[in-house]
Amino acid sequence: MKRSVFKIILMLVLFLGISCNVNAAEKNWTVSSGITESEEVKGATYVVFSGKGEVNITKSAATYIKIAKDAEIILNLNGYTISTSDWTDVLVIENMGKLTINGSGTVVNKANNGDWSAAVIGNHPGATLILNGGTYTRSKNGKTTGNSGYIIKNLGSVVVNEGVNLNNGDTTKGSSLIASGWDISNSANNLGYSYDESVKTNLVINGGTFVGGKRSVTSDTGDNTVINGGTFSEGATGILKAAGNVQINGGTFKAVTGKNVLEVENDGKINVTNGDFNQDVSNYMSNDSESIKNEDGTYTVNFVYADYSKIDKIIEKVIDEGVDTYTKESITALEKELEKVDWELGKSKQAEVDKMVEAVTKAFNQLKKIENPKTGNSAVTYILSAIIMVLGIGGCIIYRKKLFN
């Protein structure tokens, strides 16, 4: 009887062992050639991707991913979810190389176990992270009253493009959605690194949706952040705080009642050229920008370009009359002056633009008409050559309409 019981127990142990091995070997991703895989235990078992190529997620599962230094990986979410196990205080994705994430899937950190739990994504010094899609979030703070971790902690370079959604999971508290730069007040938030003032960080936000958290973006010491677009709202203490340098060229920013949409700390700087805000941000505006208060109480900031209208009229007149009616030499002289024009100068640079206008006008006044233009193949050849030469002029018109319409 005892032997029978022993055999049954042994068989169960073997069966469970086999089952565990099968589950351990089971993957929820596939890789292209050029990628090697390994494992690293760091509070959890990470799959480490090295080399260059693509990783495709094939089902939703708890998976911890690390991108090795010098690796170049494209991670396709394919609509699936990558998550941590509950209460595990580790990064979901740790990037030390170059990582591009595509797709409509979700990356979520479920850790609820106290203050400053790990970020969803940690981007190390020298690493590059490019987000082209996906939702990045964490579960609510749960039983703890402290801050959950960041969505992205950046000590390298990060680019966030259209189609990306960052959400804290709790719009009443938590940490910043993105913290870029060195947090000199709390070394635990620097991915295990000691503060190094020689290491600079970069964050570029071209679009996306940012909801909740303590704030949308914190630009810490040593950081340079450029915001070209995106929608930012519901930060518990505001939208953006800068101890680094922040340039805002666009986007929509909506702070909760009683909180500042923008705020500087220590030597931080914020420069706003364009954007929509639910507060007056004139204290942070560029000298070349103007603020308009809308009927709903919001403010629109627009960059005001210097007056290029005289150059516009010259270009249009030349095109209307026909480039082929002028000599090649005189058109070339005009084109050279147009190439010197900087079309992005603001109103504070009007004196410089006036000098450009003067030079272009002088070249225009020296245009010479062709007397008795020839017909035939030679004339056609000349006309085509002139059109090619004037492409720069035509491009200027297109560009100017793009700026002012």
- DSSP-assigned states of every residue in 266-317: TT-EEEESSEEESS--GGGB-TTEEEEE-TTS-EEEEE-B---HHHHHHHHH
Q: What is the pLDDT of residue 298?
A: 97
Q: What is the pLDDT of residue 229?
A: 98
Q: What is the pLDDT of residue 169?
A: 66
Alpha carbon distance 222, 208 (integer Å): 24
Q: What is the pLDDT of residue 114?
A: 54
Q: What is the pLDDT of residue 151?
A: 93
Q: What is the pLDDT of residue 26?
A: 73
Alpha carbon distance 125, 184 (integer Å): 15
Domain 309-404 top-level CATH class? mainly alpha
Q: Would you kindly state where each structural domain of the chain is located, as residue ranges?
A: 29-303, 309-404
Q: What is the pLDDT of residue 388?
A: 43
pLDDT tens digits in sequence order for the chain, 405 residues long: 444 444 443 344 334 433 333 233 479 999 999 999 999 998 889 999 999 999 999 999 999 999 999 999 999 999 999 998 766 778 999 999 999 999 999 999 887 655 557 899 999 999 999 999 999 998 755 445 556 789 999 999 999 999 999 998 665 667 899 999 999 877 768 998 999 989 999 999 999 999 998 899 999 999 999 999 999 999 989 999 999 999 999 999 999 999 999 999 999 999 999 999 999 999 999 999 999 999 999 999 999 999 999 999 999 999 998 888 999 999 999 999 999 999 999 999 999 999 999 999 999 999 999 876 554 444 444 444 444 444 454 455 444 433 233
Q: What is the pLDDT of residue 172?
A: 62
C-alpha dist (Å) from residue 187 to 22, 117, 177, 316, 337: 40, 13, 18, 59, 54
Q: What is the pLDDT of residue 377?
A: 43
Alpha carbon distance 190, 180 (integer Å): 10
Q: What is the pLDDT of residue 184?
A: 85
